[in-house]
Chains A and B, each alone.
Chain A
């Protein structure tokens, strides 16, 4: 089921939760909506599900207007952040719920329902829990049951709202991989919301980066990481060094001093220089566009992370360098950005 979001606007009072959002999701894709809190990602997800309504804009599933129907008729599976399992029903009844409330004409008979529930519990590998109550399950188990419940109605679209947000780190990692392999088995168009970039980059086919109700960039994990389209994306994804610079006559200046790096067509005026921590090359003093003194070094694995105070100011940056050239506190080094982006400074 392909999804098309056109020009969706949603306001809460004066606050614009979604500000003219456009998005296309192809059939069978696994898409992540990534952004900080307040970016509008959950609002967008709920609008697609029918749990919220936009103030303006269009939404269609496979070309059909989805806004003409309520949540109960859209055939969309929704997995809530806090599972929303029915606390007074057993696991079995939870998963069976969607099948039991179907109109009589379409409803399976009891045997059919049981078979399907068994099938789903097998799929999430929790058939041995079918007589328990939600309060007796762990967080990870509850989430898998919530997923099974959503899949029971054979949804055309699967929506997950920060599905692993309430779980601890180890369980989160396991479930991430599990979700990925599940998706490759079932191929349902899926959208999940997360504020964890590692999760989005690891799991999704495509990532939609959002901030303040707008889409900043849409792309594969690789594209979004390597070629961030805006300052926000660069800053939000991966660890970056951000330096305030000034562009004039094609020349890049930091604190008044000209840096020996190309302006790469950046517009004149106040701007920000973004460099990934590991894209800053370290050499002997005088060998790079920037210079600084090493204050502190931490080593782990093949990387040493150094805190460097740039000369001529109070700026302190953190860089990642390979272990070959060991850095020591007090060393004066030259820094050359290998890859970088310059974005105009925004308020």
Chain B
């Protein structure tokens, strides 16, 4: 992103730059646009959250419903991220370290949740588990609750966050090739030994990156979870759903207070993502020469 600049090359740059007035206009438009559309919304969240003072902010967060929502969100995220991490590792191993036909098709299938609207992601589970769904009656007769309960929320969240870890790992592992693993095998290591001692340390930044993005999406998912959760207060409301409910009840400070937690999560995720990207770019180890 940094154009090479030295006094010697300034003449070269003159050929390639617009007149000053135009430059200023372009920069101004970009800055104003981003400020209006990105900075202000972010600021508004915190402004509204603290609009009745710090006391109101913290009491909103310690409300039992808020605490239940936070607990549910954390729990759902932990399960989804955990399962998708395991899946991502297994799928990346199968795809990156072996040759087989249909690989592109398989990767497209894994990518599917990305191109589907969140509401549709929730819809598919309603069709299966809903009261009039394919398995609905059977579930009801066995008193098993999938929708309007945690299992449904977990399923929908797993669906929408499915590709994150795999997508982070597959290109990384493909780039790293199979030589080190072959070396390990030739030295007598078993498959598991090879994976844990050789492969895993090499992909650790990729794993962190995938987990980070997966977690951010899992905690922030709204559309899909909204469809399957039933909005049962204190039980099946994740943080995003609680934000909606409080907002619709005009409890703005509480709504924005919970929203501010999610906004902070987003900011932390972005910072961590930038740091991890730098690690992923420069390879993983400092160059000695």
Q: Do chains A and B touch in the complex (CB under 8 A)?
A: yes
For residue B288, which residue of chain A has the nearest CB? A136
Contact B185 A51 (CB under 8 A): yes
Contact B183 A86 (CB under 8 A): yes
The interface bits of chain A over 64-84 (1 if a CB of B lies within 8 angstroms of the residue's CB, else 0) are 000000111101111010101
Complex Cα distance A86/B287, Å? 15
Q: Is B179 an interface residue (CB 8 A)?
A: yes
Contact A150 B187 (CB under 8 A): yes
- Of B183, B285, B287, the contact of A80 (CB 8 Å cutoff): B183
The interface bits of chain A over 126-139 (1 if a CB of B lies within 8 angstroms of the residue's CB, else 0) are 00000011011100
Given A87-B284, A101-B197, does the pair A78, B188 have CB atoms closer than 8 Å? no
Contact A51 B288 (CB under 8 A): no
Contact B288 A97 (CB under 8 A): no
The interface bits of chain B over 248-280 (1 if a CB of A lies within 8 angstroms of the residue's CB, else 0) are 000000000000000000000000000000000
Contact B184 A97 (CB under 8 A): yes
Please name all residues of chain B whose beta carbon is closer than 8 Å to the beta carbon of A50 when the two chains form the complex.
Answer: 185-186
Query: Count of B residues near A, CB < 8 Å?
Result: 22
Q: Is A314 an interface residue (CB 8 A)?
A: no
Please name all residues of chain A whose beta carbon is closer than 8 Å to the beta carbon of B188 when the two chains form the complex.
Answer: 72-73, 75, 98, 101-102, 153
Contact A82 B179 (CB under 8 A): yes
Complex Cα distance A338/B164, Å? 72
Contact A153 B187 (CB under 8 A): yes
Contact A88 B183 (CB under 8 A): no
Query: Count of A residues near B, CB < 8 Å?
Result: 32
Complex Cα distance A153/B183, Å? 12
Q: Is B62 an interface residue (CB 8 A)?
A: no
Complex Cα distance A98/B187, Å? 5
Contact B186 A101 (CB under 8 A): no
Q: Is A149 an interface residue (CB 8 A)?
A: yes
Minimum Cβ distance to chain B for residue A106 (Å)? 10
Contact A133 B285 (CB under 8 A): yes
For residue A52, which residue of chain B has the nearest CB? B182
Count of CB-CB pairs between chains A and B under 8 Å = 82
Please name all residues of chain B whose beta carbon is closer than 8 Å to the beta carbon of A290 when the two chains form the complex.
Answer: none
Contact B189 A97 (CB under 8 A): yes
Complex Cα distance A62/B285, Å? 43
Complex Cα distance A73/B191, Å? 12
Contact B189 A72 (CB under 8 A): yes
Complex Cα distance A84/B202, Å? 13
Please name all residues of chain A whose beta carbon is closer than 8 Å to the beta carbon of B175 when the two chains form the complex.
Answer: none
Residue among B182, B185, B187 with the highest chain A CB neighbour number at 10 A:
B187
Contact B180 A87 (CB under 8 A): yes
Please name all residues of chain B whose beta carbon is closer than 8 Å to the beta carbon of A33 when the two chains form the complex.
Answer: none
Minimum Cβ distance to chain A for residue B77 (Å)? 29
Residue among B186, B189, B288 with the highest chain A CB neighbour number at 10 A:
B186
Contact B190 A78 (CB under 8 A): no
Complex Cα distance A85/B187, Å? 12
Complex Cα distance A150/B183, Å? 9
Q: Is A49 an interface residue (CB 8 A)?
A: yes
Residue among A82, A88, A89, A153 with the highest chain B CB neighbour number at 10 A:
A88
The interface bits of chain B over 191-202 (1 if a CB of A lies within 8 angstroms of the residue's CB, else 0) are 001000110011
Q: Is B281 an interface residue (CB 8 A)?
A: no
Contact A51 B287 (CB under 8 A): no
Q: Is B289 an interface residue (CB 8 A)?
A: yes
- Of A82, A133, A135, A149, the contact of B187 (CB 8 Å cutoff): A149
Please name all residues of chain A whose beta carbon is closer than 8 Å to the beta carbon of B198 when the two chains form the complex.
Answer: 86
- Of B182, B201, B287, B288, the contact of A88 (CB 8 Å cutoff): B201
Contact A51 B190 (CB under 8 A): no
For residue A132, which residue of chain B has the nearest CB? B288
Complex Cα distance A152/B193, Å? 17
Contact A84 B185 (CB under 8 A): no
Please name all residues of chain A whose beta carbon is closer than 8 Å to the beta carbon of B289 when the two chains form the complex.
Answer: 135-136
Complex Cα distance A43/B243, Å? 62
Complex Cα distance A37/B89, Å? 35
For residue A73, which residue of chain B has the nearest CB? B188
For residue B201, which residue of chain A has the nearest CB? A88
Residue among B185, B190, B197, B202 with the highest chain A CB neighbour number at 10 A:
B185
Minimum Cβ distance to chain B for residue A96 (Å)? 10
The interface bits of chain A over 115-150 (1 if a CB of B lies within 8 angstroms of the residue's CB, else 0) are 000000000000000001101110000000000011
Contact B179 A80 (CB under 8 A): yes
- Of B184, B186, B201, the contact of A49 (CB 8 Å cutoff): B186
Within A174-224, the residues touching B (CB, 8 Å) are none
Give 26 A-B contacts (CB < 8 Å), ordered by A residue: A50-B185, A51-B182, A51-B185, A51-B186, A72-B186, A72-B187, A72-B188, A72-B190, A77-B186, A78-B182, A80-B183, A82-B179, A84-B180, A87-B180, A88-B201, A89-B201, A97-B184, A98-B189, A101-B187, A101-B188, A101-B189, A101-B190, A135-B285, A135-B288, A136-B288, A153-B187
Known A75-B188, A133-B285, A150-B187; 11 more pairs at CB < 8 Å: A50-B185, A77-B186, A78-B186, A86-B180, A86-B183, A87-B202, A87-B284, A88-B201, A101-B190, A133-B288, A136-B287
Closest 9 CB pairs of A and B: A136-B288, A98-B187, A84-B179, A84-B183, A78-B186, A101-B189, A88-B201, A71-B185, A101-B193
